[in-house]
Amino acid sequence: MRLLDTLLENNEKFVENKDYLNYQTSKTPDKKVLIVSCMDSRLTELTYKALGLKNGDIKQVKNAGAMITHPYGSTMRSILVAVYMLGVEEVIIMGHNDCGFGALKPEPILKEMHARGVSEEVINTLMHSGIDVVDWLQGFDSVEESVAENIKIVKQHPLMDKNVPVHGLVMDPGTGAVEVIHNDY
């Protein structure tokens, strides 16, 4: 069976068995916090278990590297919407050790793009129209520095509520242990 069919079959059973009753909650997060974290699949359930969270407790924005790539991109927009409209009173930027995106260099991604049919010309055209694809695909050398940098972007954002603490954590994907990079209380 192909993946989507399996998922749909699982879903049918889930709804039929009324398993959703275990997850019912409201739109506003009970713990009034938004966590920006990496899309790393090791962290999906681990984040909740390691921090003692359950469904409905947090707003979570996940992307490659837990990064805010642009002050007016979708991650920052999500933070602002959560703060002003969804009852979020604190933000946590949570990177993790052994991050696949952090370690990634643009060259292998570009090489893979070429191999799958994206022409050199497309890359050049983007570069010439002001989209620095190479820089955009650049990971980071230090997760601690990356978290600190992202905290700065949120705290210095002109549209951000200055009373909202923005903390920084780094999680170990093996043990779930977190290191505090910045405690903003």
Annotated binding-site residue numbers for Zn(2+): 38, 40, 96, 99
3-state secondary structure of 181: strand
Min CB(139)–Zn ion separation in Å: 9
Tokens 């009173």 found at:
89
93 scored as a contact of Zn ion (CB under 5 A): no
| 140 lies in the binding site for Zn ion (CB under 5 A) | no
Cβ neighbours around 122 below 10 Å, total: 13
Indicate the residue among 38 and 166 with the shorter CB distance to Zn ion: 38
Nearest approach, Cβ of residue 47 and Zn ion (Å): 12
Alpha-carbon gap, residue 25 to 53, rounded angstroms: 13
Which is it for the CA torsion 90, 95, 101, 105, positive or negative? positive
Q: How far is the CB of 99 from Zn ion (least distance, A)?
A: 3
Residue with tokens 């969270």: 53
| 38 scored as a contact of Zn ion (CB under 5 A) | yes
147 binds Zn ion (CB under 5 A): no
Residues contributing to the site for Zn ion (CB under 5 A): 38, 40, 99
